[in-house]
Structure 1
Amino acid sequence: MSVTAISDKLSVSPQPSIEEIRSLGDNGFRTLINNRPDREDSAQPGTQAEQQEAKHCDLSYTFIPVTADTITEADVRAFQRAVDQSEGPVFAHCKTGTRSLNLYLIGEVLDGRMSAKEVVEFGHSRGFNTASAAAWLEKHAARMPRVKGFFDKHTWSVQYVVSDPLTRKCAIIDPVLDFDEKAGATATINADAILNYVSENDLTVEWILDTHPHADHFSAAQYLKKRTGARTAIGERIVDVQKLWKAIYNWPQLATDGSQWDRLFAHGEIFQVGSIDAKVLFSPGHTLASITYVIGDAAFVHDTLFVPDSGTARADFPGGDARVLWKSIQDILALPDDTRIFAGHDYEPNGRAPKWESNVVEQKKSNSHLAGVTEEEFVALRVKRDKSLPMPRLILHALQVNIRGGRLPEPEANGTRYLKFPLDALRGAAWE
């Protein structure tokens, strides 16, 4: 086994055998990082076998599968976290070790500890061709806008700060207000992390954007509006969702005109984030009101598409429709192939690290629900799958907040806020 030391803590290697993994602990390693997608070739053990052997050897294990063409900043940050959190030396591998080294080098440049000009020579001096890392960095520097994702483990949600590097103006997309349903407690941990990032990067918030009224987390839009003064916005079809849920909640006083937001966007409408043009696509199917924001070369597709190994979103909520969802997905996939796709959730299949960025060509090629699938096959797949899924645990809690733009109920006479939700209103009970 050829092992190359990269730093005091990190070493990279080609694919080890199971027998070689067993020797890692004896060689002082405490963490194993696997950067190979499963089934690249028939000889690799695969993530389940590696994880099982790592556990047997008392090694921490992290699965961050990447290819040379699909590395994202989220992958880089996940790799950094795995190294930083290790209690001792880290062994990372792919097929040859190059992808593992590229993840390290990209992180070093992004954090200012190395210049992009040093990347190729650093790899060459250690026997690796790291030209693809240099190319990634060059492409990343030219990207407009800059996108920072914030992953909320509690709800598997991804929130975004989308910024224009020329004007330093930004938009916040789908922010999460923390809620613990067992304690009935709210907090602003996620939103404050976003505000810290905005402050540290000297950004000015222009917009707080909802892609749709979420069923699995509370929106922090109102909290962030109070802190930043930015305008809030959502798609104009929110009024249809408000009318639907007004009946479900038996809520006669609910205003169903979308007035809880500062702006309602129509399909095809153009606005700006700093100097960058942004366009709105109506993307129903998951909900009646879902929209996609296409900001520069980045499309924020909410719960329509996930990253390719996770498929597509469910379409069985009140107002959802699998055939309508298919048509919305086709509109998104009609964008240029290099359009970056940013998803609203990630459920970490096979225990891999969170991932939320792909692009149009990757989705066409390898999305597990779309590649080589007809409309009829997709609808049948989606309907069958949705019947097996329970309702999100927070749907009845969250919708009454989110159809009001993230406003919590007003305090009652005793100073306490109360949620109200109906019994026996939705399918998906645990025993169904």
Structure 2
Amino acid sequence: MSITKISNRLSVMAQPKAVDFQALADLGFTTVINARPDGEEPSQPGTNAEAAAAGQAKLGYAFIPVTVATLTEADVRAFQRSIEQSDGPVIAHCKSGMRALLLHAIGEVLDGRMEPGEVIAFGLRHGIDLAAASRWLATHFSRRAVVKGFFDARTSSIQYVVSDPETGQCAIIDPVFDFDERAGATASLNADMLLDYIRDNRLTVAWILDTHPHADHFSAAHYLKQKTGAPTAIGEKVVKVQRLWKEIYNWPELATDGSQWDRLFSANETFKIGSLEAKVMLAPGHTLASVTYLIGDAAFIHDTLFMPDSGTARTDFPGGDPHLLWRSIRDILALPDETRLFTGHDYQAGGRTPRWESTVAEQKASNIHIAGVTEEEFVALRTARDKMLPMPKLILHALQVNVQGGRLPEPESDGKRYLKYPLNALGGGSWT
């Protein structure tokens, strides 16, 4: 084995064999990071074999599969977290060690410990060509829309702050208000984390945006409006969702005119975030009211498309439609190939770390539900898959909050708030 020491904390190497893991433990390493996607060549062990070998050697193990063409800041941050959380020295590998060192070098630049112009020389000192890292950083720093994603492990949701570096104006997209259904407890941990980031980066909130009324978490839009004074917005079709759920909840007093938000966006409507141009694209299929926000070169596509290894969103919620979802997907894929796509959930396919950024080109080439598939094939696949999925555990809790823009029910005479829970409202249950 040839190992290149980068620091007392990190070393990199080419692909090890599964039988090498005990030797790595004997050398004093405590964690292995695999930065190589499965299936690159027949001879590689693959993540399942590596995880098993790491377990036998009592090594920590993290799977952060990257390619040079699809690497994102989320991958860099996952790499850093794996090192930070390790009890001791870390060995990271890919096929040759280049991508492992690339992840480290990009993180050093993003955190200000290395200048972009120092990256190539840093790589050469360790015998590795980091020209790809230099190109990635040049592209990253040239983008006008700065996007920061925040992953909520409890709901597998991603919340975003997208900002204009020229003016410091920003928008919050799909924020989560914490809810523990077992205890009936609410909290603002996720939302306050967004506010901390906004404060630390001296940003001003111009908009609080939801892509649709969510079925798996409460929206923090109302809470954040109270904290920032910024206007809230959603797509205009939300009124259809309100009417549908007003009937499901037998809720005669629910206003179904969208007045719970400050603005209802229509198709192709535009707005500004500082100097950034933003456009609203209707994207029904997952829900009646789903929209995509196109901000600069970044599109926030909610639950229409997941990461390519995870496919597409379900369409069996009230108001969902697989044919409409297909058309919404085609609209998104008609954007320029280099458009960055930011999804609303990630369920960590194959046990990898969370990811949420792709491109139009990447989705067209490799999304497991749409690449090389016709509309009829997609609808058949989506319909069959949806029949196997249980309803989200929070759907009946969340919709009565989210059709009101994230407002919790008003306190009753005892000062407590109560959620209404209709029985047998969504068809058959899941009994296995």
Provide TM-score, normalisation by structure 2.
0.99
Secondary structure of 1:308's match? Answer: coil
Question: What displacement does 1:6 show?
Answer: 0.9
Partner of 1:183: 183
Partner of 2:125: 125
Counterpart of 1:367 in structure 2: which amino acid?
Answer: N
Distance 2:427 2:312 in 1: 21
Secondary structure of 1:23's match? Answer: helix
Partner of 2:382: 382
1:391, 1:428 within 8 Å by CA — same for their partners in 2? no
1:64, 1:79 within 8 Å by CA — same for their partners in 2? yes
- Mapping of residues 27-106 of structure 1, within 5 Å: 27-106=27-106
Distance 2:217 2:56 in 1: 37
Question: What displacement does 1:427 show?
Answer: 2.8
- Mapping of residues 190-209 of structure 1, within 5 Å: 190-209=190-209
Distance 1:397 1:257 in 2: 21
Question: What displacement does 1:20 show?
Answer: 1.2
Partner of 1:366: 366
Partner of 1:251: 251
Partner of 2:215: 215
Secondary structure of 2:309's match? Answer: helix
Question: What displacement does 1:22 show?
Answer: 2.3
Distance 2:54 2:144 in 1: 40
Runs (4+) off by over 3 Å = none
Matched, 1:409 2:409: yes
Counterpart of 1:368 in structure 2: which amino acid?
Answer: I
- Per-residue CA distance 1:105-157 (angstroms, 9 max, x = gap): 00000000000011000001111000000100000001120000000000000
Matched, 1:240 2:240: yes
Structure 1 pair 428/107, CA: closer, same or farther in 2 (3 Å)? farther
Question: What displacement does 1:252 show?
Answer: 0.3
Secondary structure of 1:389's match? Answer: coil
Secondary structure of 1:292's match? Answer: strand
Matched, 1:269 2:304: no
Distance 1:4 1:343 in 2: 36
- Per-residue CA distance 1:58-100 (angstroms, 9 max, x = gap): 1111000000111100000000000011000001000000001
Counterpart of 1:416 in structure 2: which amino acid?
Answer: K
Counterpart of 1:64 in structure 2: which amino acid?
Answer: I
- Per-residue CA distance 1:164-189 (angstroms, 9 max, x = gap): 00000000000000000000000000
Distance 1:388 1:160 in 2: 30
Secondary structure of 2:251's match? Answer: coil
Partner of 2:334: 334
Count of aligned residue pairs for this structure pair: 432
Distance 1:145 1:339 in 2: 12
Structure 1, unmatched stretches of 5+, are none
Partner of 2:287: 287
- Mapping of residues 160-171 of structure 1, within 5 Å: 160-171=160-171
- Per-residue CA distance 1:239-295 (angstroms, 9 max, x = gap): 000000000000000000000000000010010111000000000000000000000
Secondary structure of 2:415's match? Answer: coil
2:211, 2:290 within 8 Å by CA — same for their partners in 1? yes
Partner of 1:231: 231
- How many percent identity over aligned positions? 66
Partner of 2:317: 317
Question: What displacement does 1:7 show?
Answer: 1.4
Secondary structure of 1:134's match? Answer: helix
Distance 1:168 1:234 in 2: 22
Secondary structure of 1:148's match? Answer: strand
Question: What displacement does 1:202 show?
Answer: 0.1
Distance 2:55 2:231 in 1: 49
2:19, 2:53 within 8 Å by CA — same for their partners in 1? no
Query: RMSD of the alignment, in Å?
Result: 0.7
Secondary structure of 1:144's match? Answer: coil
Secondary structure of 2:91's match? Answer: strand
1:298, 1:340 within 8 Å by CA — same for their partners in 2? yes
Question: What displacement does 1:428 show?
Answer: 5.0
1:390, 1:428 within 8 Å by CA — same for their partners in 2? no
Secondary structure of 2:246's match? Answer: helix
